[in-house]
Structure 1
Amino acid sequence: MGEQIRITVHGDTDFVDKSSLAQTDPAKVKKRRERKSKRVRAPKNPRPQEWLAKDLSQGYIADYKPFNFVDGEGVRCSLYVSGCLFACPGCYNKVAQQFKYGQPYSKELEDQIVADIGQSFCQGLTLLGGEPFLNTQVCLSLIDRLRKEYGSSKDIWSWTGYTWDELQKESADKLEMLSKIDILVDGRFLEPLKDLTLQFRGSSNQRIIDVQASLKAGKVVLWKNLVR
């Protein structure tokens, strides 16, 4: 290998043999680099039931944030589970894509979450990640506990990279989890559609869905308090 030199175009860097430059058209090199830099990466798109929680989830959580105002309507307790395969470019919580990031979910943490949500000023639970529907073991344990303790007096929101239609073709555990929550924010985060003015979502393709109304109607029914 001959002497290497560095070529940078629009911040994208390559190392090439100096001897090869004599046979290389600099204009063509520049165009190739510009085309590469303009490519739009996209999230991964799974086939139905390709990704199963029983095979992927390690039972880890990335974070727990009690009593916040940003993860849905009202005062909420938010559980961030670990692990996601969608790999959306621009993901705001990229570190939580790892299935063993953070710490294992525990009975002690579950007890704390249930107690926190029991406060009169707390409206409910929010499940985020990572991908909640790839961590159904953790999420269903907590959901079932909350329903046992509080019935429908506390609502449950979940974010997901899956679309509503994709979830209808998914595994039994995902369908069970969907049937037990109130609000679903669906769809991959798409960086070209990013819009910081939207309620509780990052890109305009995502929807805030009233789950129980949608299941009853057999079609997507949007959340009644949607403003934008």
Structure 2
Amino acid sequence: MEGTIRIAGTVNESIVDGPGFRFALFTQGCPHHCPGCHNPQTHDFAGGSEVALDDVLREACRSPLVKGITFTGGEPFCQPEPLYALAVELKKKGKHLMAYSGFTFEQLLESTDPYVRKLLSQLDLLVDGPFIEAEKNIDLQFRGSANQRVLDVPASLAANAPVWNEKYR
């Protein structure tokens, strides 16, 4: 697979970045700058490091215990083309895919970048919306603030509207 992606880092075996045992890919660059952000070091678009997609794919699939991959950041949808290419290969390997975005599902659907919808088409779950410090709630599963939603992406795309994954409501 050709191409590179700018990342802040990875976590090879995470249990907090989505359901099950996961590989978390922290993309570099974020336009949202949410006050209280958990990963402010990922905001600078010039930060992090450029890595080959093949290297990320190899690392993500290294552990047989990892069943899912999470794209987080930063803002994954600022790099939809390389993430789409990676997602296609990960899906071929049977991985569950999830992403976090400070954009809402509705905003992502309005994007003029064709790779945004292509990336969405590969995802199983999406946690959408900006982190809002006033709505912070540590009791919420896989999200930081009450405004964020855990969406069933295939159902949301079929409905052309956000559909909650009821397990995480």
TM-score (norm: length of structure 1): 0.68
**Structure 1 runs of 4+ off > 6 angstroms?**
none
Structure 1 distance, partners of 2:109, 2:6, is 26
- Aligned residue for 2:9? 63
Q: Which runs of 5+ in 2 are unaligned?
A: none
- Relative distance call for 1:179 and 1:109 in structure 2 (3 A) is closer
Alignment of 1:83 onto 2:25:
no
Q: Tell me which structure has the larger Cα radius of gyration.
A: 1
Provide the secondary structure at the position in 2 that maps to 1:167. Answer: helix
Structure 1 distance, partners of 2:10, 2:90, is 16
1:113-168 deviation line (CA, Å, top 9, x unaligned): 2333xx1x3221000000000011331121011123x2xx3210000011011111
Structure 1 distance, partners of 2:34, 2:159, is 31
* RMSD value, Cα: 1.5
2:30 is matched by which residue type in structure 1?
C
Structure 1 residue corresponding to 2:50, chosen from 95, 99, 104: 104
Provide the secondary structure at the position in 2 that maps to 1:110. Answer: helix
1:157-188 deviation line (CA, Å, top 9, x unaligned): 00001101111111211111111111000000
- Aligned residue for 1:113? 60
Residues 182 and 212 in structure 1, CA contact (< 8 A), matched pair in contact too: yes
Provide the secondary structure at the position in 2 that maps to 1:225. Answer: helix
Provide the secondary structure at the position in 2 that maps to 1:115. Answer: coil
Query: How many matched pairs?
Result: 164
Provide the secondary structure at the position in 1 that maps to 2:110. Answer: coil
User: Which has the bigger relative contact order, CA under 8 A and spacing at least 6?
Assistant: 2
Alignment of 1:182 onto 2:137:
no
1:1-228 to structure 2, matched below 5 A, reads 59-106=5-52, 107-116=54-63, 119=64, 121-148=65-92, 150=93, 153-171=94-112, 172-226=114-168
TM-score (norm: length of structure 2): 0.90
